[in-house]
């Protein structure tokens, strides 16, 4: 008897361990670690992951596995192990770690198919399963005792597994004509069909001569040069059938990618790449920080390093921040590596994501370019991991497991003995501090590719503008510069920091602000629907004509959305053609790319947008970048607000003058003297780093201290307060005197979806007891968490303190 050790899908403390199940005879030799199965658990049937096989078990009464979910392992041995690491380092349950590694499609409903890859080698007794088509449902083999043989045939690439994911978003089907008559029946039919129905004869002859059983309708029509009515006639006679067949959805298939050749590296690039190449060559895990100003040619270095990896027959993982936002980056990789590249990002439909994942799983591609979760790409021979724009906060997952892609990259890099490259013009303080200490190797690229060097940056004090009577959101300076670009036929980019700019509604007489009844946050005005919406829970209501509190008519929208900027812009510069990019104009699939394409084709003079235009854009004709207000980000309650402001301003400025034409940047601000604004304007990362490090040290923040955030939520305020109080006092008993515990306090957003939120933050340097203490907390409240819907979130190394 063989047993399978299974992690069951019950995310709870008590079940976070392996359970042993019997493998029924029919599945002996078929079930492997990394497959999902259905097992009896108490009275229920639930899902689980097989993590190991064994000959004996210490469990007295074992029960058999009831069913299979996967037909081949979906997690590699390495990923199974990595889940343990995630569990220990983010305090999640193993099952949550597994789930995080899979594309969403595999968690949804799908059908399992077995497809014939090589019909010639198919054993004769299996032929009847595939006589009418090259695929058959996995369930058709139930009771046949063929499972072990099927596994063997899958391993030998004679059969293959296909999960058909139902995907409304991007379901792509083609019409296929299937023959449903035998040869004799065909000959018989030919006799009965009128000789004048030439096309029908032609069709029958085709099936008789080629022996084909199914063919795409389009192809058939083209090949025989006949119309659809002949097919229809034969369908009526039950000779042919017309069916929908699902196809690979390749979102990039329709596009041509001109092949690009590696460029001759500059000496600066050469210096940066050579240590990476030697790590690849010597199969050595090393961390590199590629600290390169915007436009210094980092991407070219990435691609050549990837090329070296491919030449060694290995694979590459390239993470880019939310890639749908940077189609240019995808294009560059696609044109260099062609069909070797899989692309994974949130803009894809569930089925599309699965298709891309499957290409990796089947080793059809060697490179994955993707957002955060692509770090779990099931490659087995990784030769390099690159994280571009490593400072991006989207690399941190805000749900369980609360991991940072950078940490996973290092862990996988250690396993595969390969280099990990963290690239940025503005590395996080954590990363740069590690580079300074020699934990990572620092590779500096301080020169831009273009001869123009860094753009000149001018800071405009908006308070001054107001004093001199300019109430517009455009300073005179910026307006004049925009005007000049229009005259010269050059392009400009205008950047609006969304945060703090969302348009809330306030009464000018009594100060009343319309808030969400379920969350302690103001509602945002949406012009298109003329509604007020909550961005946290989706609540919406009608716009009031007058103040609900004092009945005043002075009830207006505050803040400036991109729409308002656009309106003012067209008033001030009527001849300017403006493209606006924000959540409203880009919510439709592919619209983001279309807008960028239009701008690239010079169909507009000004690109106006939010954060989403800050990154990765590279347009030669852009010579002016304007930041409408630099300081909205400075005012958020987060110790990283200066760092984020500096990063953003640097990124945005980097969009100007990347090519032949020199660039200019105008930053409008209400706090021109703030060091993050000042130092960004002089492109002084090192100056910023030093200044900010001093502040972090004196305020005991990372990278000098670690942080842990415990958030408690519940529908009753008294409940969250008491629980958070108890947790805080328990923790202070467990930790050393050096640890600082802040709290309990209300979270910055005190209520979301009718649940109150309280938190405590722990700052510490070395606390060997902390993890255990936090685990104990979760364990202690486990039963309440189930019954009373109390929720306790633990985030080690939080990025959002909200
Ligand atoms: P980064 O990723 O650092 O912002 P890019 O890789 O986008 O910089 O490079 C900026 C520009 O310089 C791009 O247009 C790129 O094609 C070009 N470039 C990069 N390396 C070279 C090179 N060795 N020779 C010529 N042009 C280069
Ligand atoms: Zn009022
Ligand atoms: Zn709400």
- Domain of 753, CATH number, reads 3.30.70.360
Structure tokens at 518: 């379920």
CA-closest residue to ligand 1 atom 10: 295
Q: Given its phi and psi angles, is residue 548 left (phi above 0), alpha (psi -120 to 50 degrees) or beta? A: alpha
Q: What is the DSSP string of 540-592?
A: EEEPPSS-TTT--S-EEE-S--HHHHHHHHHHH-TT--EEEESHHHH-STTHH
Residue at which a domain ends, from 638, 672, 696: 696
Which ligand is closest to the CA of 532, given by its number?
Answer: 3
- Res 498: pLDDT: 61
H/E segment holding residue 798: none
- Res 98: pLDDT: 94
Structure tokens at 83: 């889940």
Which long-range contacts link 325-331 to residues 24+ away (Cβ below 8 Å)? Answer: 325/592, 325/612, 325/615, 325/616, 326/615, 326/616, 326/617, 327/592, 327/593, 327/596, 328/596, 328/616, 328/617, 328/618, 329/299, 329/369, 329/388, 329/616, 330/252, 330/369, 331/257
Query: 382 - beta bridge partners?
Result: 315
Report yes or no: 503 and 545 within 8 Å, Cβ to Cβ: no
The answer to the question of residue 784 being in a domain is yes
Radius of gyration from C-alpha coordinates of the chain: 30
The answer to the question of residue 545 being in a domain is no
The reply to whether ligand 1 has any atom less than 6 angstroms from the CB of 331 is: no
**CATH number of the domain within which 46 lies:** 3.40.1440.60
- Cα of 499 from ligand 2 centre, angstroms: 25
DSSP-based three-state secondary structure for 767: coil
Residues 207-220 pLDDT 10s? 888 878 888 888 88
CA 359 to chain centre: 17
By the 10 Å C-beta count (0-12 exposed, 13-18 middle, 19+ buried), 463 is classed as exposed
Determine the length of the chain. 802
CA-closest residue to ligand 1 atom 4: 295
DSSP structure class, residue 515: B
The reply to whether ligand 1 has any atom less than 6 angstroms from the CB of 448 is: no
Do residues 432 and 331 share a domain?
yes
The answer to the question of residue 122 being in a domain is no
Ligand 1 atom closest to 293 (CA): 3
Which ligand is closest to the CA of 320, given by its number?
Answer: 1
**Residue 357: closest CA among 347, 431, 345, 99:** 345
**CATH number of the domain within which 317 lies:** 3.40.50.300
Distance of alpha carbon 529 from alpha carbon 730, whole angstroms: 49
- Cα of 515 from ligand 2 centre, angstroms: 13
Q: Which residue ranges are tagged as binding site for Zn(2+)? A: 507, 510, 516, 519, 534, 537, 547, 550
Report yes or no: 7 and 39 within 8 Å, Cβ to Cβ: no
- Res 263: pLDDT: 92
The reply to whether ligand 1 has any atom less than 6 angstroms from the CB of 631 is: no
Residue at which a domain ends, from 696, 723, 750: 696
- Res 171: pLDDT: 44
Which ligand is closest to the CA of 510, given by its number?
Answer: 2
The reply to whether ligand 1 has any atom less than 6 angstroms from the CB of 5 is: no
Structure tokens at 100: 């995080």
The reply to whether ligand 1 has any atom less than 6 angstroms from the CB of 618 is: yes
Distance of alpha carbon 532 from alpha carbon 530, whole angstroms: 7
Do residues 82 and 54 share a domain?
yes
Report yes or no: 790 and 708 within 8 Å, Cβ to Cβ: no
Do residues 675 and 594 share a domain?
yes
Query: 793 - beta bridge partners?
Result: 711
Ligand 1 atom closest to 296 (CA): 3
> Angle between the 217-224 and 198-210 helix axes, to the nearest 10 degrees?
110
The answer to the question of residue 552 being in a domain is no
Q: Which residue ranges are tagged as binding site? A: 507, 510, 516, 519, 534, 537, 547, 550
Residue at which a domain ends, from 641, 666, 696: 696
Bond into 702 cis (ω within 30)? no
The residue whose two tokens read 């058959």 is: 136
DSSP structure class, residue 295: T
Low-confidence ranges of the chain (pLDDT < 50): 168-171, 324, 499-501
Do residues 678 and 594 share a domain?
yes
The answer to the question of residue 802 being in a domain is no
Which ligand is closest to the CA of 540, given by its number?
Answer: 3
φ and ψ at residue 760, rounded to 5 degrees: -140, 145
Mutation probe of ligand 1 site: the residue of 300, 304, 331, 386 with most atoms within 8 A of C-beta: 300
Do residues 473 and 573 share a domain?
yes
Do residues 596 and 717 share a domain?
no
- Res 577: pLDDT: 94
Report yes or no: 627 and 495 within 8 Å, Cβ to Cβ: yes
The residue whose two tokens read 């004092």 is: 550
CA-closest residue to ligand 1 atom 17: 297
CA-closest residue to ligand 1 atom 5: 297
Structure tokens at 546: 């007058």
H/E segment holding residue 793: strand 791-796
- Res 411: pLDDT: 97
- Sheet with 706-714, strands from edge to edge, namely 740-752, 755-764, 706-714, 791-796
- Res 300: pLDDT: 95
Which ligand is closest to the CA of 513, given by its number?
Answer: 2
Structure tokens at 285: 């895990």
- Cα of 295 from ligand 1 centre, angstroms: 6
- Cα of 189 from ligand 1 centre, angstroms: 66
- Cα of 713 from ligand 3 centre, angstroms: 15
- Res 170: pLDDT: 42
**Residue 675: closest CA among 666, 687, 663, 667:** 687
Q: Determine how β-strand 173-179 pairs with β-strand 664-669.
A: unpaired
- Sheet with 110-116, strands from edge to edge, namely 135-137, 110-116, 159-165
Do residues 285 and 336 share a domain?
yes
The reply to whether ligand 1 has any atom less than 6 angstroms from the CB of 299 is: yes
Mutation probe of ligand 1 site: the residue of 266, 326, 386, 449 with most atoms within 8 A of C-beta: 449
- Cα of 307 from ligand 1 centre, angstroms: 16
**Other CB atoms within 10 Å distance of the CB of residue 729:** 12
CA-closest residue to ligand 1 atom 25: 263
- Res 584: pLDDT: 67
The answer to the question of residue 261 being in a domain is no
Q: Determine how β-strand 606-609 pairs with β-strand 491-495.
A: parallel
φ and ψ at residue 397, rounded to 5 degrees: -85, 130
The reply to whether ligand 1 has any atom less than 6 angstroms from the CB of 294 is: yes
- Res 509: pLDDT: 74
- Cα of 362 from ligand 1 centre, angstroms: 33
The domain containing residue 786 runs over which residues?
A: 706-795
Distance of alpha carbon 251 from alpha carbon 409, whole angstroms: 27
Do residues 274 and 423 share a domain?
yes
Distance of alpha carbon 316 from alpha carbon 379, whole angstroms: 8
Residues contacting 207, CB < 8 A, separation 6+:
179, 186
The answer to the question of residue 143 being in a domain is no
Report yes or no: 530 and 541 within 8 Å, Cβ to Cβ: no
- Cα of 497 from ligand 2 centre, angstroms: 28
Distance of alpha carbon 340 from alpha carbon 478, whole angstroms: 45
Report yes or no: 302 and 421 within 8 Å, Cβ to Cβ: yes
Do residues 211 and 93 share a domain?
no
Ligand 1 atom closest to 388 (CA): 2
What is the number of domains present in the chain? 5
Structure tokens at 606: 């000004």
DSSP structure class, residue 745: E
Do residues 236 and 363 share a domain?
no
**Residue 369: closest CA among 384, 350, 381:** 384
Do residues 421 and 490 share a domain?
no
Do residues 237 and 285 share a domain?
no
Q: How far apart are the first and last CA of the chain?
A: 52
- Res 239: pLDDT: 87
CA-closest residue to ligand 1 atom 19: 297
The answer to the question of residue 373 being in a domain is yes
Query: 541 - beta bridge partners?
Result: 532
Q: What is the DSSP string of 420-444?
A: EEEEESS--HHHHHHHHTTSSEEEE
DSSP-based three-state secondary structure for 232: helix
């Amino acid at each position: 008897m063989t047993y399978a050790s299974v992690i069951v899908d019950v995310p709870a403390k008590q079940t976070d361990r392996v359970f042993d199940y019997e493998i029924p005879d029919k599945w002996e030799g078929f079930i492997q670690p990394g497959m999902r199965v259905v097992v009896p658990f108490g009275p229920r049937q639930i899902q689980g992951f097989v993590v190991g096989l064994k000959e004996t078990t210490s469990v007295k009464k074992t029960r058999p596995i009831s069913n299979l979910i996967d037909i081949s392992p979906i997690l590699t041995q390495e990923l199974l192990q990595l889940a343990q690491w995630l569990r220990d380092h983010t305090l999640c349950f193993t099952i949550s770690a597994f789930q995080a590694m899979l594309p969403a499609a595999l968690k949804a409903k799908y059908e399992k198919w077995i497809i014939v890859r090589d019909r010639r080698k198919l054993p004769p007794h299996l032929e009847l399963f595939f006589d009418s088509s090259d695929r058959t449902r996995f369930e058709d083999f139930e009771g046949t005792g063929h499972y072990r043989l099927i596994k063997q045939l899958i391993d030998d690439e004679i059969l293959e597994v296909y999960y058909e994911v139902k995907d409304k978003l991007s379901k792509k089907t083609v019409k296929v004509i299937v023959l449903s008559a035998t040869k004799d029946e065909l000959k018989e039919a030919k006799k009965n069909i009128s000789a004048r129905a030439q096309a029908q004869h032609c069709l029958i002859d085709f099936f008789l001569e080629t022996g084909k059983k199914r063919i795409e309708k389009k192809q058939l029509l083209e090949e025989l040069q006949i119309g659809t009515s002949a097919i229809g006639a034969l369908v009526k006679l039950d000779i042919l059938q017309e069916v929908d067949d699902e196809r690979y959805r390749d979102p990039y298939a329709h596009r041509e990618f001109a092949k690009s050749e590696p460029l001759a590296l500059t000496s600066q690039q050469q210096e940066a790449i050579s240590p990476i190449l030697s790590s690849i060559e010597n199969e050595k895990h090393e961390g590199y920080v590629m600290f390169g100003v915007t436009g210094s040619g980092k991407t070219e270095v990435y691609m050549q390093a990837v090329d070296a990896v491919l030449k060694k027959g290995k694979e590459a993982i390239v993470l880019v921040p939310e890639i749908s936002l940077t189609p240019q980056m995808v294009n560059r990789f696609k044109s260099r590596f062609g069909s070797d590249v899989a692309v994974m990002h949130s803009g894809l439909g569930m089925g599309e994501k699965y298709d891309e994942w499957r290409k990796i799983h089947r080793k059809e591609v060697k490179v994955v370019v993707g957002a955060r979760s692509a770090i779990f790409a099931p490659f087995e021979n990784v030769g390099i991991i690159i994280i571009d724009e490593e400072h991006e906060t989207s690399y941190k997952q805000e749900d369980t497991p609360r991991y940072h892609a950078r940490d996973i990259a290092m862990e996988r890099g250690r396993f595969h003995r390969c280099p990990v490259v963290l690239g940025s013009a503005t590395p996080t303080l954590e990363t740069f501090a590690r580079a300074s200490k020699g934990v990572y190797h620092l590779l500096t690229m301080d020169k831009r590719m273009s001869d123009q060097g860094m753009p000149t940056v001018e800071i405009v004090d908006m308070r001054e503008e107001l004093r001199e009577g300019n109430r517009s959101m455009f300073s005179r300076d910026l307006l004049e510069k925009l005007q000049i670009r229009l005259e010269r036929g050059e392009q400009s980019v205008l950047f609006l920091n969304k945060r703090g700019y969302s348009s809330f509604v306030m009464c000018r007489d009594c100060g009343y602000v319309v808030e969400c009844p379920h969350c302690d946050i103001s509602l945002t005005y949406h012009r298109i629907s003329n509604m007020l919406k909550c961005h946290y829970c989706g609540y919406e209501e009608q716009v009031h004509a007058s103040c609900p509190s004092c009945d005043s008519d002075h009830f207006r929208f505050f803040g400036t959305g991109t729409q308002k900027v656009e309106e003012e812009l067209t008033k001030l510069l009527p001849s300017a053609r403006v493209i606006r990019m924000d959540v409203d104009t880009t919510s439709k699939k592919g619209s983001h790319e279309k807008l960028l394409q239009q701008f690239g084709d010079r169909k507009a003079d000004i690109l106006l947008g939010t954060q989403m235009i800050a990154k990765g854009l590279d347009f030669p004709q852009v010579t002016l970048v304007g930041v409408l207000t630099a300081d909205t980000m400075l005012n958020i309650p987060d110790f990283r607000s200066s760092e984020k402001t500096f990063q953003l301003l640097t990124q945005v400025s980097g969009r100007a003058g990347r090519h032949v034409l020199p660039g200019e940047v105008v930053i409008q601000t209400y706090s021109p003297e703030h060091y993050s604004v000042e130092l960004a304007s002089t492109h002084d990362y090192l100056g910023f780093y030093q200044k900010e490090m001093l502040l972090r040290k004196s305020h005991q923040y990372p990278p000098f201290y670690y942080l842990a955030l415990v958030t408690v939520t519940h529908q009753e305020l008294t409940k969250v307060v008491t629980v958070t109080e108890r947790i805080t006092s328990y923790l202070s008993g467990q930790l050393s005197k050096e640890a600082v515990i802040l709290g309990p306090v209300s979270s910055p957003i005190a209520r979301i979806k009718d649940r109150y939120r309280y938190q405590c933050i722990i700052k510490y340097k070395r606390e060997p007891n902390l993890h255990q203490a936090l685990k104990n907390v979760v364990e202690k409240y486990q039963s309440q968490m189930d019954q009373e819907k109390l929720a306790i979130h633990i985030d080690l190394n939080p990025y959002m303190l909200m």
